[in-house]
């Protein structure tokens, strides 16, 4: 049955309200103004929505997201920042150059904060996953110190991750060699995709607390999204230290 644009918009609003209220039952049939059963469901759902408002959503629990990933700082620091990042993300690079150095100087090196780095390579950044894997393969041999040396090289040479896959692989191996690892062991690690499940696990943990973009941070359970300035981190850190 033909419907005007106004009628269509009205029905769309009603259906949206029903979805929010949890009252809509999918009937598996085409929407029709003659369907009395659907009309009744819509009216009931809208009435409930108007009276009670949208259903309350349980906030995602933010527990210890440190896992066993690489970190800098005192292991027992009172404040933990878990960073979910993508080596090819320009906003992650902005954080690396802007807030990160000051955080290290004022909080990490003074034993107040540790920063845990976890991977969230975005699908449209083709160089992000290979970079994450390369860093993990370096850590296998050189520990967290070597990992963060590789981490720094990746952000400071981020442009190479936009090249073709073969060029990216060559650059990553070169960075790994600079850190001082055994090239054969590194290449075997990369070839076997040894840390694939670890990287996937990082991404999965991010999604459990609603994090889908990079960079994102969890500061003692407080979620921050985006390349926030140092002052934003400092405010939360000071509040946590005062507890």
pLDDT tens figures, 153-211: 999 999 999 999 999 999 999 999 999 999 999 999 999 999 999 999 999 999 999 99
Mean per-residue pLDDT of the chain: 82
Q: Determine the CATH number of domain 71-241.
A: 3.40.30.10
Would you say 155 and 87 are in contact if contact means Cβ atoms under 8 Å apart? yes
pLDDT tens figures, 15-36: 344 333 443 333 333 333 345 5
pLDDT band at 66 (very low <50, low <70, confident <90, very high): confident
- Element at 37 (helix H, strand E): helix 36-52
- Element at 190 (helix H, strand E): helix 183-191
pLDDT at 3: 39
Percent of the chain with pLDDT over 90: 72
pLDDT band at 64 (very low <50, low <70, confident <90, very high): low
Strand runs (DSSP E) across the chain, as ranges?
71-72, 79-85, 113-119, 216-219, 222-225
Structural domain boundaries of the chain?
A: 5-52, 71-241
């Amino acid at each position: 049955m033909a419907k005007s644009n106004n009628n269509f918009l009205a029905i769309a609003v009603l259906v949206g309200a029903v979805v929010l209220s949890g009252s809509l039952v999918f009937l598996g049939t085409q929407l029709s103004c003659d369907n009395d059963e659907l009309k009744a469901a819509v009216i009931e759902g809208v009435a409930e929505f108007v009276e009670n408002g949208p259903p309350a959503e349980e906030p995602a629990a933010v527990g210890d997201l440190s896992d066993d990933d690489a970190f800098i700082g005192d292991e027992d620091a009172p404040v933990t920042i878990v960073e979910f990042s993508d080596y090819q993300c320009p906003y992650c690079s902005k954080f690396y150059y802007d807030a990160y150095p000051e955080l290290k100087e004022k909080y990490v090196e003074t034993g107040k904060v540790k920063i845990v780095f976890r991977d969230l390579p975005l699908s449209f950044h083709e160089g992000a996953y290979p970079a994450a894997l390369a860093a993990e393969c370096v850590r296998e041999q050189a520990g967290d110190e070597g990992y963060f040396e590789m981490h720094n090289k990746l952000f400071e040479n981020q442009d190479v991750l936009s090249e073709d896959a073969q060029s990216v692989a060559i650059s990553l191996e070169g960075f790994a060699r600079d850190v001082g690892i055994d090239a054969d062991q590194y290449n075997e690690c990369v070839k076997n995709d040894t840390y694939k499940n670890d990287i996937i696990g990082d991404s999965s943990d991010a999604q459990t607390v609603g994090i889908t973009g990079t960079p994102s941070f969890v500061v003692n359970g407080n979620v921050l999204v985006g390349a926030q300035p140092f002052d934003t981190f400092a405010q939360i850190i000071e509040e946590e230290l005062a507890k």
